[in-house]
Amino acid sequence: MRKKVILACTECLSRNYSSYINRSNQSERLEVRKFCKKCGTHTLHRETK
């Protein structure tokens, strides 16, 4: 079953993106380098609770 998660910037903590993940395959939190509109650079975005 897929679950919707929200990705937040690690620098400024703004919640910019959302994505779907498969919980049965992935146990740890999702981490992706994405562009943050507030910071103006590519930063690491992590899955929030």
Percent of the chain topping pLDDT 90? 82
SS3 10: coil
- Could you tell me the residue ranges of all domains in the chain? 2-47
Which CATH homologous superfamily contains domain 2-47? Ribosomal protein L33 (2.20.28.120)
- Helices (DSSP H) in the chain: which residue ranges? none
Please state the pTM of the whole predicted model: 0.83
Give the amino acid at 10.
T
Whose tokens are 């929200």? That residue is 6
The per-residue pLDDT for range 31-46, each reduced to its tens digit, is 999 999 999 999 999 9
Residue where the block lists tokens 């910037």:
9
